[in-house]
Amino acid sequence: MIRKFNYTGRKKIRRSDIRIDLLRDDESRRFFNIALHLADLELPETARVYVEAYHRSGYRRYDFGTVGNLRIPADRTLGGISASVTPLFRVKVVDKTGTHGRILASVDKIRPASEDSQPVDSRSLLFVEYDDLGNTIWQLDLEGDWPVLRLNRTVDEISLIASSDNRFLALVYPEVLRQILTRILIVDEHTDPDCDDDWPSLWLKLAATLPGMSVPYQASRADRQAWIENAVQAFCTNFNLLDKFDQAIQQ
């Protein structure tokens, strides 16, 4: 089992102490509101607080003053980040008294709770983005900060198809699950579901909740590969994908 250990003494900000909402101003520019609670961490009141929004190469940092005097900046627009994607956020508390800033507390990969006043499903572990993929209908991107299902924006009604067409659901999503679990268990050899700060652990937790599944602690490579296939089968069974596919093609 691969676990993560904290060797830095850095404190962990609880996700439950942060809420971020994405909104639009009168000029239709996206910005964020944030509720942030740091009192329980007993941090120095002079430590600086920063919020960072990012997506791939797009990045912006916002200065929120100090722990003892939080000041919400007037400009919280998401300049430099494409309007077609949902950014992630991180919060850092930094001691600036030394020559080099030292991070005292942090939390990363925070997903917005809502976007344009619509709730974001907190159980969803897969971002969806729309790109020009040439002649490819979909691709799974596992190289960023979160798994992203890329859909070809040149396909008519691709958003509707991906969300409600049972043929698409039955053919694509089991393979998405297989690729994600293969990356986690075979490529990265990550078997720890107990860290809520990374997407591999969250996906392992999700797969382990499927009927008949449990986390493959200390399993051999062959056992992990078999576990992945069992998880895909359990996913298909749980959502009755074969029957849904048969019904869809008969319509």
Q: What is the pTM of this model?
A: 0.65
Strand 88-95 versus strand 102-110 pairing type: antiparallel
Confidence of residue 6 (pLDDT cuts 50, 70, 90): very low
Last residue of a domain, one of 119, 138, 158: 119
Q: Clarify whether residues 29 and 115 are in a common domain.
A: yes
Please state, for a pLDDT cut of 70, what percent of the chain lies above it.
92
* Half-sphere exposure of residue 97: CA atoms within 13 angstroms, side-chain side: 7
Q: Which domain holds residue 144?
A: 127-250
Domain edge (last residue) among 88, 119, 150: 119
pLDDT band for position 7 (cuts 50, 70, 90): very low
DSSP letter string, 125-169: --EEEEE--TT-SEEEE-SSSS-EEEEETTSTTHHHHHHH-HHHH
Look at residue 2 and tell me if it is in a domain.
Answer: no
170-185 pLDDT, tens per residue?
Answer: 999 999 999 999 999 9
Tell me the pLDDT of the chain averaged across its residues. 87
36-45, 108-117, 148-157, 231-240: segment of lowest average pLDDT: 108-117
* Residues 131 and 240 reside in one and the same domain: yes
**Residue 1: its pLDDT value, please?**
45
Highest mean pLDDT among 74-78, 86-90, 217-221: 74-78
Question: What's the rounded mean pLDDT across residues 180-196?
Answer: 85
Check which CATH number belongs to the domain holding 41 and give it. 2.60.40
> 16 with 77, same domain?
yes
Q: Torsion-angle region of residue 189: left (phi > 0), alpha (psi -120 to 50) or beta?
A: left
The predicted model gives 14-22 an average pLDDT of 89
Residue with tokens 């089992």: 1
From CA 52, how far away is CA 70, in angstroms rounded? 15
Give a yes or no: residue 4 inside a domain: no
Residues 135 and 193 in one domain: yes
Q: How many CB atoms lie within 10 A of CB 61?
A: 11
* Coil, helix or strand at residue 211: coil
Region of poorest pLDDT, from 1-15, 163-177, 206-220, 229-243: 1-15
The residues, ordered by sequence, that sit 6+ positions from 40 with a Cβ below 8 Å of its Cβ are 17
In this prediction, residue 122 carries a pLDDT of: 42
- What pLDDT does residue 145 have? 77
